[in-house]
Amino acid sequence: MKKFLTILTLLLLVLAMTLTACGKANNAPEKQNTTSTNAEKPLKVVLLINGTLGDKSFFDSANHGMELIKQEYGDKVVTKTIEMSYDQSKWEPTLQDVSEQDWDIIIVGTWQMTEYLEKIAPQYPDKKYIIFDTSVDYSKGNLSNVYSILYKQNEGSFLAGALAAKIADSNMPLVTGKKLIGFLGGMDIPVINDFLVGYIQGAKYVDKDIKVAISYIGDFSDSAKGKELALAQYDQGVTIGFNVAGQAGLGQLDAAKEKNRYVIGVDSDQALLFSSDPAKANLIVTSVLKRVDNSLLRAIKMYKEGTLKFGESESLGLKEQAVGLADNEYYRKIVPEEFRKFVEDLKVKIINGEIKVDSALGMDTNKLNEIRNSVKP
């Protein structure tokens, strides 16, 4: 009897263990299904353009940044670019509407958007905002959800100014014989004057007696006026001009083609953008790159890594490869190797701190006027 009970007990234990194992096996698929249901949601990123695409410069670079983000992360992100046009009455309501939607990160750019962002961002503390080419005033309320990107465009422009001065004093074709270079700005505002200050400093580094013809269009969209002002500069004897005017600056490229003079592009590699028009591309010796595209991709990478510091601004320059000169087939064909080597050496000196480039950001008007007057033709 005892032997029978012992055998029965062992059989019951084996049966219990078998049922337990089956139960675990049957539950396993349920656990896997739960995990797949909680898959990571894609990050939703939207870019608001306070203008239109097609400037072959600043806004196109920002949009390219969105394309780079999509290429990098695929279906892990949802991206969208919204063109708000140049009608300023649309900018604030569009930013408000987008903030009401389910976007995780909202990107805007330029100083013209700072006031709207300073007003709207505190209303949506759970949203994250990125503003580029300017900074919000963090003393104005709670802006701990805003990351600002500034660029050291003065560093890239220093290189452009040095190159322009070298060309103006060379025996290269199309040189007028005058030590006169040009600068065409969109508006007389700090970020544009930061280009100018670096440009002048770089030119005077090469030739302390260099002169610079300076004009401002008054906006960033009037390419006809841009061409008119650039033609006037070339008629003065300018050998090489530098356009810093967004879409309006395309007028200078047209003027360079008409007058057969050299020109420096801005923000994007404008020679490559006009490769289908060789007569124009072969006059664009280089472009001062402001890599808005790279900086936006960098910001999203840092966000996903958890290292992006909201509530702060960051300045990116030559060291971070956020600015620089375009080095393409036209640059290597047009610019003598000696000049290219000289510019590369200057770049290293700026990165190493041997050369300190002045900035118009925070500069008082009297000092700025003193710099402009020092190179007046």
Phi, psi of 242 (to 5 degrees): -135, 115
CA-nearest of 206, 162, 186, 192 to 246 is 186
Q: How far apart are CA 276 and CA 282, in angstroms?
A: 11
CA within 13 Å, CB half, 91: 20
Region of poorest pLDDT, from 21-25, 209-213, 221-225, 267-271: 21-25
Name, of 31-40, 56-65, 209-218, 271-280, the range with top average pLDDT: 209-218
Assess whether pLDDT exceeds 50 at residue 16.
no
Give strand pairing partners of 48: 82
Could you report the per-residue pLDDT of 293-306, keeping only the tens digit for each? Answer: 999 999 999 999 99
Instruction: DSSP letter for 237, please.
Output: T
Confidence of residue 12 (pLDDT cuts 50, 70, 90): very low
The DSSP code sequence of 168-233 is HTS--TT--SS-EEEEEESSSSHHHHHHHHHHHHHHHHH-TT-EEEEEE-SSSS-HHHHHHHHHHH
Residue type, 321: Q
The structure's pTM equals 0.82
Section 203-222 average pLDDT: 98
Task: Specify the pLDDT at position 33.
Answer: 33
Assess whether pLDDT exceeds 80 at residue 34.
no
The number of helices, as runs of H, and strands, as runs of E, in the chain is 14, 12
Region of poorest pLDDT, from 28-37, 110-119, 210-219, 309-318: 28-37
**What is the SS3 string spanning 59-128?**
HHHHHHHHHHHHHHHHHHEEEEEEECCCCHHHHHHHHHHHHHCCCCEEEEECHHHHHHHHHHHHHCCCCE
Task: Specify the pLDDT at position 39.
Answer: 62
Mean pLDDT of the chain: 91
Task: Specify the pLDDT at position 205.
Answer: 99
Q: Structural domains in the chain? A: 43-151 (3.40.50.2300), 153-289+323-373 (3.40.50.2300)
Section 64-90 average pLDDT: 97
The percent of residues in the chain predicted with pLDDT above 90, rounded, is 86
Using CB atoms within 10 A of its CB, is residue 169 exposed (0-12), middle (13-18) or buried (19+)? middle
Q: How far is CA 192 from CA 79, 151, 245, 295, in A?
A: 29, 11, 8, 19
The sign of the CA dihedral 294, 84, 268, 178 is negative
